[in-house]
Amino acid sequence: MKHFLTILSHEVRMLLVSTNTYIAAVAFLSLMGFIFTGILEDYSKAVQDVSPASVFFQLYWLPVFFMVPLLTSKCLAEERRLGTIETLLTTPVTTAEVVLGKYAAAYLLYIAFWGSTSGLFYILKRFAGDARLIDPGPIVGGYLFVAVSGLLFIAIGVFASSLSRNQSVAGILSLTFLVGIILGSRYLGQASWLDREALSPLKDAVEYAQVNQHFQDFTRGVVDTRELLFYVSGTVLALIFSVLAVEAKLLHS
């Protein structure tokens, strides 16, 4: 892991000069700003039961769908398309270092984007003057969920990027995976055919993978280690598959 930091700093710099990053940043911040304003308008009209933070974080999946592909689709696909993977892997770096460096850079930026939304809460605190609106529980839980689930989402994006040398194919592939995990698990959870006795293990597995359920637990302040394990193991698996995909493509190139 000697070269991890070299690759990480290089990748962060590369992301900071990439147009994709700025498209993602502008789209993300304007979307979140609109959502936040909408929430505040509702709150100014009538008193609500839940804190604005939990409503705000409920829409976490919307920015994930475009941010993750924009941040990750380029990372490995572009290296293969340009052929720079050849010069990269003929230096004393391992494939794992390359994949991890790129993954960590994309994750840092993802977290930085989400971190910038804390400005919205700061503004609310500064000008609302109502302590009930700023409930620290859901805010901390929401950010924690974003940080933990981001591990898996970014890893999925990196994996999609390792599968294709075409950036747009990689982007659409990662969008498909993310929709499958976030919306697909919710859809399967509601499917009645899973209620049969014989399929109960499958039903359990689907229950376990309910990203939305995890989200609700986090914002209520329940941090379950099983849920942490779900994201961490998913991340490790996706990254291992990315390393294998890069190496397999070399063998069959």
- Which C-beta is closer to other proteins: that of 89 or that of 144? 89
Task: Name residues whose C-beta falls within 8 Å of residue 145's C-beta, 6 or more positions apart in sequence.
Answer: 57, 60, 214, 215, 218, 219
- Which C-beta is closer to other proteins: that of 3 or that of 186? 3
Interface with other proteins (CB under 8 A): 2-3, 6-7, 10, 13-14, 17-18, 82-84, 86-93, 250-251, 253
What minimum distance in Å lies between the beta carbon of 242 and other proteins?
A: 19
What minimum distance in Å lies between the beta carbon of 15 and other proteins?
A: 10
Contact yes or no for 159/238 (Cβ under 8 A): yes
- Which C-beta is closer to other proteins: that of 10 or that of 203? 10
Q: Which amino acid is at 18?
A: S
What minimum distance in Å lies between the beta carbon of 109 and other proteins?
A: 16
- Which C-beta is closer to other proteins: that of 18 or that of 176? 18
The C-alpha atoms of residue 11 and residue 7 are separated, in whole angstroms, by 6
What minimum distance in Å lies between the beta carbon of 71 and other proteins?
A: 16
Residue 27: HSE in the Cβ half-sphere, 13 Å Cα cutoff: 16
- Which C-beta is closer to other proteins: that of 2 or that of 45? 2
What minimum distance in Å lies between the beta carbon of 27 and other proteins?
A: 21
Report CA 100 to chain centroid distance, whole Å: 15
What minimum distance in Å lies between the beta carbon of 115 and other proteins?
A: 25
The C-alpha atoms of residue 178 and residue 210 are separated, in whole angstroms, by 13
- Which C-beta is closer to other proteins: that of 105 or that of 156? 105
The C-alpha atoms of residue 101 and residue 99 are separated, in whole angstroms, by 6
CB-CB neighbours of 91 under 10 Å: 9
179-199 b/e with 16+ CB inside 10 Å = b?
Answer: eebbebbbebeeeeebeeeee
Report CA 78 to chain centroid distance, whole Å: 20
What minimum distance in Å lies between the beta carbon of 247 and other proteins?
A: 10
**Tokens found for residue 144:** 């924690």
The C-alpha atoms of residue 108 and residue 16 are separated, in whole angstroms, by 11
The C-alpha atoms of residue 149 and residue 80 are separated, in whole angstroms, by 28
- Which C-beta is closer to other proteins: that of 93 or that of 199? 93
Q: Which amino acid is at 25?
A: A
